[in-house]
């Protein structure tokens, strides 16, 4: 019997006031299912998934290459379309791996590494958003075995037309949080900051210079990376490495950033960039310019399993993000449980993306 996709299931799992994980499950006529993730903030339904499910239903065979050819145009209509297209692609790879009894990374060319370092993004778990609060969250992540950490302490930054004193006060709180994290974690921890594009060029340079004693591992998106000239200008004059690119789509979306060497690390997100194969193409293009990748991954455990397939196979992977500590059920929501050893994700030989959903726990958590 030729494998065909017969059904699409959306699975919404409320996590916090800021987050709902939206998983996608494709069902086939041969008894196999495939998982993907399409999380977008607190979105609990993504109608755009129907566009790409209709594409699948119209195909003569379960071909990822053919799906991508038909999906690329619609995926470029909007960020939500790109997310929906990517999630379907994840699930197709999961099915393909199960059909061949192989992990997806084997289908991408085989493993390049056995482990990948994971950094704990502590931003959403930090409710007490003052320096001591960020330091306490970082210490909790370190106690869990992580050695690299990221925060976004400038969230809530005032608008550009705010008065100078208000803007300076917000800068000082964010800078203070990063100094507090360094003091709590000691000199060997890798500390990253995500600025969430709140600054202009001058502010970005001023903040980076104030942060030099913290010895940041990287300085992420002080302004939108689509502003390539401005991003490059900042990178040319600050001491820290720069990172960015989480919302870009496709190799062509990343290529101007890469060619300009505007950042030192690019951050494709498998949820938004076009999926697993597109992330691999993005990584290989970056490798030709000696630029590292660190996949953005600020969502759920399915996205982590999907991102891991890229991390285990791509040539120039530096690290993988993990949205850590946002809820107390994350690790057990998938089978086998999400597990990190000394802050690293260890390669699995499970077929597909390597996990299934824990249906018993899911029944108590899904929307």
User: What are 117-136's pLDDT values in tens digits?
Assistant: 999 999 999 999 999 999 99
Nearest Cα neighbor of 293 from 306, 309, 277, 280 is 280
Parts of the chain belonging to CATH 3.30.390.10: 5-101
Check residue 59 and give its pLDDT: 87
Parts of the chain belonging to CATH 3.20.20.120: 106-365
Task: Spell out where the chain has E strands.
Answer: 5-16, 19-28, 33-37, 115-121, 148-151, 190-194, 218-220, 242-244, 265-266, 292-293, 320-323, 334-335, 344-346, 356-357
The DSSP-derived string for 181-233 is HHHHH-TTSEEEEE-TT---HHHHHHHHHHTGGG--SEEE-SS-TT-HHHHHH
User: DSSP class of residue 333?
Assistant: G
User: What are 3-12's pLDDT values in tens digits?
Assistant: 899 999 999 9
Check residue 367 and give its pLDDT: 83
CATH topology of domain 106-365: TIM Barrel (3.20.20)
CATH topology of domain 5-101: Enolase-like; domain 1 (3.30.390)
pTM: 0.96
Check residue 264 and give its pLDDT: 98
367 residues of the chain, pLDDT tens digit each: 788 999 999 999 999 999 999 999 999 999 999 999 999 999 999 999 999 999 998 888 889 999 999 999 999 999 999 999 999 999 999 999 999 999 999 999 999 999 999 999 999 999 999 999 999 999 999 999 999 999 999 999 999 889 999 999 999 999 999 999 999 999 999 999 999 999 999 999 999 999 999 999 999 999 999 999 999 999 999 999 999 999 999 999 999 999 999 999 999 999 999 999 999 999 999 999 999 999 999 999 999 999 999 999 999 999 999 999 999 999 999 999 999 999 999 999 999 999 999 999 999 999 8
N-to-C CA span, the chain: 35
The DSSP-derived string for 230-264 is HHHHHHHH-SS-EEE-TT--HHHHHHHHHHTT--S
User: DSSP class of residue 355?
Assistant: -
Nearest Cα neighbor of 90 from 286, 256, 266, 295 is 295
Task: Spell out where 127-195 has E strands.
Answer: 148-151, 190-194
């Amino acid at each position: 019997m030729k494998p065909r996709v017969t059904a699409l299931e959306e699975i919404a799992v409320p996590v916090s006031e800021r987050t709902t994980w939206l998983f996608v499950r494709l069902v086939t006529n041969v008894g196999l299912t495939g998982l993907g993730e399409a999380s977008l903030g607190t979105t609990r339904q993504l109608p755009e998934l129907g566009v790409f499910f209709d594409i699948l239903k119209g195909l003569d065979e379960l071909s990822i290459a053919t799906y991508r050819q038909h999906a690329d145009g619609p995926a470029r209509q909007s960020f939500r379309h790109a997310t929906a297209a990517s999630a379907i692609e994840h699930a197709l790879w999961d099915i393909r791996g199960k059909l061949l009894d192989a992990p997806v990374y084997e289908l991408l060319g085989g493993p390049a590494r056995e482990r990948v370092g994971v950094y704990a993004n502590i931003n959403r778990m930090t409710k007490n958003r003052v320096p001591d609060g960020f330091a306490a969250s970082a210490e909790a992540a370190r106690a869990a075995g992580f050695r690299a950490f990221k925060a976004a302490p400038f969230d809530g930054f005032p608008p550009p037309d705010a008065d100078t004193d208000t803007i300076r006060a917000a800068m000082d709180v964010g800078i203070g949080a990063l100094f507090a994290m360094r003091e709590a974690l000691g000199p060997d921890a890798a500390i990253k900051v995500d600025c969430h594009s709140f600054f202009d060029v001058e502010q970005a340079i001023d903040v980076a210079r104030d942060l030099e004693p913290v010895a940041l591992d990287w300085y992420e998106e002080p302004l939108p990376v689509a502003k390539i000239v401005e991003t490059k200008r900042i990178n040319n004059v600050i001491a820290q490495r720069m990172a960015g690119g989480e919302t870009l789509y496709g190799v062509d979306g990343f290529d101007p950033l890469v060619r300009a060497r505007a950042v030192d690390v690019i951050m494709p997100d498998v949820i938004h960039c076009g999926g697993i194969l597109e992330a691999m193409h993005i990584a290989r293009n970056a490798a030709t310019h000696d630029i590292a990748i660190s996949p953005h991954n600020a969502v759920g455990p399915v996205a982590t399993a999907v991102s891991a397939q890229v991390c285990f196979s791509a040539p120039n992977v530096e690290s993988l993000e993990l949205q850590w500590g946002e809820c107390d059920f994350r690790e057990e929501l998938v089978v086998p449980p999400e597990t990190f050893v000394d802050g690293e994700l260890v390669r699995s030989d499970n077929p597909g993306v390597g996990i299934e959903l824990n249906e018993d726990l899911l029944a108590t958590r899904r929307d």
